[in-house]
A and B are shown apart, each in its own frame.
Chain A
Amino acid sequence: DAKTTQPNSMESNEEEPVHLPCNHSTISGTDYIHWYRQLPSQGPEYVIHGLTSNVNNRMASLAIAEDRKSSTLILHRATLRDAAVYYCILSGGSNYKLTFGKGTLLTVNP
């Protein structure tokens, strides 16, 4: 399975934008890039996904590099409720068989 690399942790200030990077240099042509987040003692929450083009939804934006070897999740204005572990996951052809890594722990400072 193609792997992803994310920083262990990041910090942000409330109401500032946050850019969460993810490297996936061995991504295959059919891999979708999924982002989920997980708050303490909760199940993962879907954030966004994409294949080649940049994507926007009400929660975030996903910027995908032209060569697809990296992507960035963008939270436009961080709030305290955005503090969570963020996972970047490649679908590997089976979108339901997601393998979550360690993710990035995002801390949002008031």
Chain B
Amino acid sequence: NAGVMQNPRHLVRRRGQEARLRCSPMKGHSHVYWYRQLPEEGLKFMVYLQKENIIDESGMPKERFSAEFPKEGPSILRIQQVVRGDSAAYFCASSPPGITYGYTFGSGTRLTVV
């Protein structure tokens, strides 16, 4: 059973470019959560998605950030016009329906904006 798969593991973008981070949840998991870990800080919740629905995006920055979880394919976290402050590790977690603990996290995507 493959775990939560995130790609790419490392992503370098120049200021102003777009970054697309992908997350494939574990088999049977239909709930996806994105977290961000800024340098020297703890992980912070960004957004909670179910298939084709955004359930809670209270942790998302108001501009440039968006997330989706289509009916088919991975969840995508999209950052438009990246700035240096977006440099961080982005983690995705997943869970099956009805489970509210013990989320499985992926290994993260480390975004560096140069």
Contact = CB atoms under 8 A, between A and B. Distances in A.
Interface of A: 32, 34, 41-46, 49, 87, 94-103
Given A98-B45, A99-B42, A32 B101 contact: yes
B42 A101 contact: yes
Given A46-B104, A97-B48, 17 more contacts: A43-B4, A43-B91, A43-B106, A43-B108, A44-B93, A45-B105, A87-B42, A95-B101, A96-B48, A96-B95, A99-B43, A100-B42, A100-B43, A100-B44, A101-B42, A102-B42, A103-B42
A43 B95 CA distance: 15
Q: Which 4 A-B pairs have the closest CB atoms?
A: A43-B105, A100-B42, A95-B100, A100-B43
Interface string B58-82: 1100000000000000000000000
Contacts of A99: 42-45
B43 A42 contact: no
| Chain B contact residues, majority secondary structure | strand
Contacts of A100: 35, 37, 42-44
Contacts of A103: 42
Contacts of B108: 41-43
A31 to B, nearest CB: 13
B107 interface: yes
A44 B42 CA distance: 11
A5 to B, nearest CB: 13
Contacts of A49: 101-102
A94 B100 CA distance: 8
A96 B45 contact: yes
Nearest to B3: A43
Given A87-B42, A96-B45, A99-B45, A46 B59 contact: no
A104 to B, nearest CB: 12
A42 B3 CA distance: 13
Contacts of A95: 100-101
B91 A44 contact: yes
B42 A97 contact: no
Contacts of B18: none
